[in-house]
Structure 1
Amino acid sequence: MMKQATGLTVHNKSRILEVSFDDGATFELPFELLRVYSPSAEVKGHGAGQEVLQVGKREVGMAGLEPVGNYAVKPTFSDGHDSGLYTWDYLYKLGAEQEQLWKDYLARLHAAGFEGDSGRASGAALPSAPKAHGCGHKH
């Protein structure tokens, strides 16, 4: 069954897109995750094995977010990328599989020699974990 988004909130300061769905699920999707897993041909390539590793997206922002019919949104990222259509099902998949997607992305960065390139560190708390507030430093 197709998922239907019931709410979208762009949090520019924390660089998070909050998406709520009709089944009660809510996901906080970092802009970096959205950008590196863009469903565009520029990122995905035109077939299996043609994916293009996205680097330097740790600080990417969202300059705009426009609806596409009743089934998707099209973000414009601060690096100019704007060719990805994010369907509700795809956003749901990104949210539901976020932890594994981060692990895969960090492993690909590591393999390509870009270890510290992501805003996520290996083993760092993921946004899908219970929310913690503060800067993360022990006082």
Structure 2
Amino acid sequence: MNAPQKIKLHRESQQLELAFDGVSYRLPSEFLRVYSPSAEVRGHGEGQEVLQHGKVNVAITHIEACGNYAIRIIFNDSHDSGLYSWNYLKELCQNQYRLWREYLDKLDQAGLSRDPNTQTVKFV
């Protein structure tokens, strides 16, 4: 996989702009944080994923190049593990809307919120 033609952090909107094959995408910092490729988020195997919540205000503070194959994103909640490979970033770009919907559905099913200051009460 080739590197994106563009990687640009828009600090005010907290969106990472990427261009693959001449197509430009914007991924919000919250989306990138909850879909971090780190073991802390994805676990060490199938079914070990940790659903991230309360990340609506998370911001990207820094981005580092990792060789010619990935970037490391440092977030203001101290999360900095996990390398975002070019393949993984392209997958996130191309599937952003579906993945976001799935994330929101999982939050709802778990009775969790994007807002760290909100508690959801579910009745059974």
Task: Report the aligned-residue RMSD.
Answer: 1.1
Residue 82 of structure 1 corresponds to which residue in structure 2? 80
Task: Find the partner of 2:36 among 35, 38, 51.
Answer: 38
Task: Find the partner of 1:50 among 48, 51, 57.
Answer: 48
Cα distance, 1:15 vs. partner? Answer: 1.0
Is contact 2:6–2:19 with CA below 8 Å preserved after alignment? yes
Contiguous gaps of at least 5 residues in structure 2? 116-124
Letter of the structure 1 residue corresponding to residue 27 of structure 2: L
TM-score for both structures, normalised by structure 1? 0.80
TM-score for both structures, normalised by structure 2? 0.89
Task: Find the partner of 2:65 among 57, 67, 78.
Answer: 67
Residues 37-92 of structure 1: per-residue CA shift (max 9 Å, x gap): 00000000000000000011111001110000111100100100000100111111
Q: Partner of 1:70: helix, strand, or coil?
A: coil
Cα distance, 1:13 vs. partner? Answer: 1.0
Q: Partner of 2:17: helix, strand, or coil?
A: strand
Structure 1 runs of 4+ off > 3 angstroms? none
Please give the alpha-carbon distance, in whole angstroms, between the structure 2 residues aligned to 1:68 and 1:78: 20
Cα distance, 1:3 vs. partner? Answer: 3.5
Please give the alpha-carbon distance, in whole angstroms, between the structure 2 residues aligned to 1:18 and 1:9: 5
Residue 7 of structure 2 corresponds to which residue in structure 1? 8
Residue 114 of structure 2 corresponds to which residue in structure 1? 118
Identity %: 50
Residues 74-121 of structure 1: per-residue CA shift (max 9 Å, x gap): 01001000001001111110010001001110010001102xx237xx
Q: Partner of 2:101: helix, strand, or coil?
A: helix
Is contact 2:5–2:22 with CA below 8 Å preserved after alignment? no
Task: Find the partner of 2:105 among 99, 103, 107.
Answer: 107
Counting matched residue pairs gives 115
